Amino acid sequence: MSFFHTIPSYSVLYFLFIIVLTAPSFDMILCCKFLNNTICAGIDNKLDNGSVQQSNVDILLADLPGNASQNAFVNTSVGEGQDGILGVAICLANISPSSCQNCLQWAVKHLYSDPKCKNSNSAESWFDRCMVHYSSHELFFGVPKTRPNITTFWGKSEANGGGLETAVYKLINNLSDSAAKNSETRSALGQLDYNQTSTSSTTIYGLAQCTRDLSAGNCSTCLAKFTRQLKIKSSGSTYTGARIVGDSCFIWYDNEPINNTCDQNAENEHINNPISDQNSGNGSSPVPPEGRGKSRTKTITIVTAVSVVVGLLLLVIAIYFVWLRKRTTKASSSWRATGYCKLRPDIRVYSIYELKTATQNFSPSKRLGRGGYGEVYQAVMYGRSVAIKRLLKASKENEQELIKELSLVSYMEHPNILKLVGYCFEKNQYFFVYEHMPNGSLDKHLKDPTSRQKLSWTTRFKIIKEIAQGLSYLHYGLEKRTTHVDLKLTNILLSKEMAAKIADFDMLRTFETDETHQSTEKGYGTIGYMAPEVNVLALRKNYSLKSDIYSFGIMVLEIVTGKGIHTFRKTESEENISESDENLTSFVWKNWNCKRYLEVIDPYLDLKIQRDNEQMVRCIHIGLLCIQHEAAKRPDILDVQKLLNTKEPLPPPSVPGFLRD
C-alpha cells in the first residue's frame, strides 16, 4: 500500500493540523515555559464581543509578535479616542528574532486562554524571555510601572553566600546603570567574577533591561526599585539565580550565562520547579525546590516523547501544512531582516493567499476603483477595514522603485495622510494595503449633485485646511522634503467623519537639503493639475515643492466653485467668455478681474452667511495665488496655512499658469 493510501480522512487530518498549528515549538517549551503568568487589570471593565475596542485588542495582539521580533521591542496602538488600545511587546535584547516571535505568540495565546482575561480592557502576559501588555489607559508609554511584577528564584549556594550576595548586587547595579545609558536597546548584559572560597573563584552573570519607551532616568528608577526588592537569601543560603519581571523593566542573574539558547538540563529545572512569588507587596519568602533529579528525568522523557509524536504528525500532513501555512514571502522577509527595506515596525506583511481570501479572489464586487496603475479592493482583514491596491503594471524591472516607495510611505504618520497598513510582494505581484476611507474620494462628492449639495461650506473649508496640513507634512515633516507630484481630487479621500487624507503615493519625489528642484525629461502628474514648469509640453520638467502648490490651488478652486478641472461647462453667466478660453482657471480669473466674486462660487453653497462669503472669496484669492504662472511667486505651503487661518491682507495674484499672452 502506498503512503498516500495511509493518510486518514479529511476530518482527522484537519484535527491533526490544528494540533500542530497551535503547539509551541520546542524552543518555546524549553526557553519560555518555566515562567508564564497572566494578569488582567480590566476585570471590572469588560469589553463586549464584537465591539470596536475588542476588535482593536484582537488586531493589536495579532500584530505584536511579528512586529516586535526583529528588534525585540515594539510599542504601538490601534484605534483612536475611547476605542484606542495601546500595546507593548518586549523580548530579551539578545534573543534571536525567531525565538522572540515564538515566545510572544505563546504569551498572546495565554492571554486568550486565561478566562479571567477574556474581554479585559487591560492585561499582560509574562514569559521567560518576553512580555506582552495591552491597555486602554492613556498614560501607558514612557511611564515606569513596577507593579504588578513577578519574582522567581532557583538554586542554592551554601559556600560563601555573602560573597555571592555582594557580587550579585554589584553586578546588577553596574548593569542597571549601563542599561539606562544605552539609548538603543535600554539593556545591558554582563558578568562578574567573585571569590567562592579562599582558593577558588567563580562567575555570576546578569541582565538588566527596560522597555525602550522609557527615558534614561525612568529606566534607572524602575531598575533601582527592583534591585531594592531583590531578596536573594533564604534560611541562610543564597540563591544562585533570580529574576524580577515587570511591565517596564526586569533584572536577572544566574550562575550560568544568560543567552538566547537553552541548556536543556538547567531549563528543565526551572520548568518543573519554579519558586515564584507574584509580588503584591507582602514580602512573602519563597520556598526552595525539592526533588530536582526526578523532575529533570521526567521532563526530558516528556519532551522526547512529544518530539517523536509531533514529528510523525508533521510527516503525515506536511503536504497540507505547506499549502495552508503560506506566510510572508522570502523576499519580503529578507528585506526586513537585512535592512534592505527599512519599514515602520508595525507594517504587516501579507501573503497573496490572505489577500485573495479577503477579497473573494479579487471579486469585482469588492473593487472600489480602477486606474492606470491598477485596481483597489475593499476587504476586512483581522477586524480592520482596508483598501488593497493591486499594482497591475508593476514588475521585477521596477521592483527597486516599489521598495523605495514602500520604505518611504511606511514612515508617513499624519492625520491627513492615508496610512499604510501592510504590503505583499510575492510571485511578481505587488500590493499595498491601506486604511479604508468609507466616504471615498472628494472628486466623487463634487461630481454627484446630491453629495455636492450636502457638502456645506464649513465642511469644504475644513477639507481645504486639512489638505494643506497633509501637504505641509509631506514638504517639511519627513526626513527629506517630499513632493506628491500628483495631487488631485481623486487622490483626496474622506474618512467616516469627512476628514481629508492625501492618498496615492506612486509618484513621490524626495529632495536633498540643498536641492530647490529636480529636472527631468519625463513628465509626471495629471494634465490640468500640472504646473507650467512640469507640463508635458515643457522640454525639461522642473519639479519642486511649488509644483504641488499649483495642484493645491487648482483643487481649492474646484472645491469653492464645485466645478471639476475636466468637466467645466459654459453657463449663461459666462457668456462673456469665449469658447477657446473656456476652462476653470480662465473662468475664475476673468470673473475675479471683473470683481464678480459670487459668480464663481458653487450655487449649491448657502450665501446668506456673510462670514462664509468672506471665507469663500478669500479661498478663491488664495487659490489664484497658488496657480500663478511663475513658480517663485506662488506661496509656500506654510504661508498658505497661515493665510487660511488669519485675515491678514493678501497680495494681488498675477496671471495664472497657461493664460499668459
The per-residue pLDDT for range 448-471, each reduced to its tens digit, is 999 999 999 999 999 999 999 999
What sign does the CA torsion over 337, 338, 343, 349 have?
A: negative
**How crowded is residue 254: how many other Cβ atoms within 10 Å of its Cβ?**
21
Topology of domain 149-290, per CATH? Killer Toxin P4; Chain A (3.30.430)
Cα 548 from chain centre: 27
Enumerate the known binding-site residues. Answer: 389
What is the reported pTM? 0.52
> Strand, helix or coil at 250?
strand
**Grid coordinates of 215:** 527615558
Burial class for 318, CB neighbours closer than 10 Å (0-12, 13-18, 19+): exposed
DSSP for residue 396? G
Highest mean pLDDT among 36-50, 61-75, 225-239, 278-292: 61-75
CB 534 within 8 A of CB 523: yes
Query: In terms of pLDDT, which residue wins out, 320 or 29?
Result: 320
148-162, 247-261, 367-381, 389-403, range with greatest mean pLDDT: 367-381
User: For position 342, what pLDDT does the model report?
Assistant: 62
Architecture, CATH, for domain 32-141: 2-Layer Sandwich (3.30)
Query: Which residues, in sequence order, are CB contacts of 11 under 8 Å at separation 6+?
Result: none
486 has catalytic annotation: yes
Who has greater pLDDT, 391 or 510?
A: 391
C-alpha pair distances (Å), 459 with each of 30, 184, 414, 598, 605: 59, 44, 20, 19, 11
534, 543 contact by CB (below 8 A): yes
Angle in degrees, CA 577, 582, 583, rounded to 5: 130
Q: Give pLDDT, residue 277.
A: 40
pLDDT band at 611 (very low <50, low <70, confident <90, very high): confident
pLDDT confidence band for 576 (50 / 70 / 90)? very low
Q: From edge to edge, which strands make up the β-sheet containing 275-279?
A: 187-195, 201-210, 249-254, 241-246, 149-154, 275-279
Res 659 pLDDT > 50: yes
Q: Which residue out of 443, 486, 548, 612 is catalytically annotated?
A: 486
Greatest alpha-carbon pair distance for the chain in Å reads 108
According to CATH, the superfamily of the domain at 330-435 is Phosphorylase Kinase; domain 1 (3.30.200.20)
442-645 homologous superfamily: Transferase(Phosphotransferase) domain 1 (1.10.510.10)
Q: Of 216 and 332, which is predicted with more confidence?
A: 216
Please list the alpha-helical segments (H only) found in 182-263: 216-229
Share of the chain above pLDDT 70, in %: 71
* Cβ neighbours around 567 below 10 Å, total: 11
Where is pLDDT greater, at 221 or 306? 221
388 pLDDT band, cuts 50/70/90, is very high
Q: Model confidence at 520, in pLDDT bands (50, 70, 90)? A: low
pLDDT range class, residue 316, cuts 50, 70, 90: low
Query: Residue 197: what pLDDT?
Result: 62
Please compute the mean of the pLDDT values over residues 21-33 and round it to a whole number.
32
CA angle, 25 then 37 then 282, to 5°: 155
Which of the four pLDDT bands, split at 50, 70 and 90, describes residue 23?
very low
Q: Which residues are annotated as a binding site for ATP?
A: 389
When pLDDT is cut at 50, 70 and 90, the band that residue 334 belongs to is very low
Q: Rounded to the nearest 5°, which phi and psi values hold at 611? A: -60, -40
pLDDT of 207: 92
pLDDT at 13: 43
Question: pLDDT tier at 262 (50, 70, 90 boundaries)?
Answer: very low
The C-alpha angle with vertex 506 and arms to 504 and 508, in degrees rounded to 5, equals: 100
Instruction: Give the single-character DSSP code of 81.
Output: G
Complete DSSP assignment for 583-625: SHHHHHHHHHHTT-GGGTS-TTS----HHHHHHHHHHHHHHHH
Q: Is the predicted pLDDT of residue 393 greater than 90, yes or no?
A: no
- Is 391 in a helix, a strand, or coil? strand
Across the range 616-645, mean pLDDT stands at 95
pLDDT at position 295, please? 40
Contacts of 98 (CB under 8 A, 6+ apart): 27, 69
Average of per-residue pLDDT across 88-106: 86
Cβ count near 467 (within 10 Å) = 25
pLDDT in tens, 44-60: 467 777 788 888 888 88
Q: Is the pLDDT of residue 6 over 60?
A: no
Residues of the chain with CATH 3.30.430.20: 32-141, 149-290
Q: Which pLDDT score, from 0 to 100, does residue 77 have? A: 82
pLDDT, position 369: 86
| pLDDT value of position 639 | 95
- The DSSP bridge pattern shows strands 249-254 and 130-135 to be unpaired
pLDDT category at 348 given cuts 50, 70, 90 is confident
Task: Report yes or no: 186 and 180 within 8 Å, Cβ to Cβ.
Answer: yes
| CATH 3.30.200.20, the chain: domain bounds | 330-435
In this prediction, residue 70 carries a pLDDT of 78
**Higher pLDDT, residue 264 or 45:** 45
CATH 1.10.510.10 residue ranges of the chain are 442-645
For the chain, give the mean pLDDT. 76
Q: What is the pLDDT confidence band of residue 14, given thresholds at 50, 70 and 90? A: very low
Instruction: Name the residue type at position 660.
Output: R
Q: How many CA atoms lie within 13 A of 194 on its CB side?
A: 20
pLDDT at residue number 333: 38
pLDDT digits (tens, 9 = 90+) for 191-215: 998 876 666 678 889 999 999 888 8
Examine the pLDDT at 332 and tell me if it is beyond 60.
Answer: no
Alpha-carbon distance of 616 to 455, in angstroms, equals 14
d(CA 570, CA 408): 43
Please tell me the predicted confidence (pLDDT) of residue 290. Answer: 38
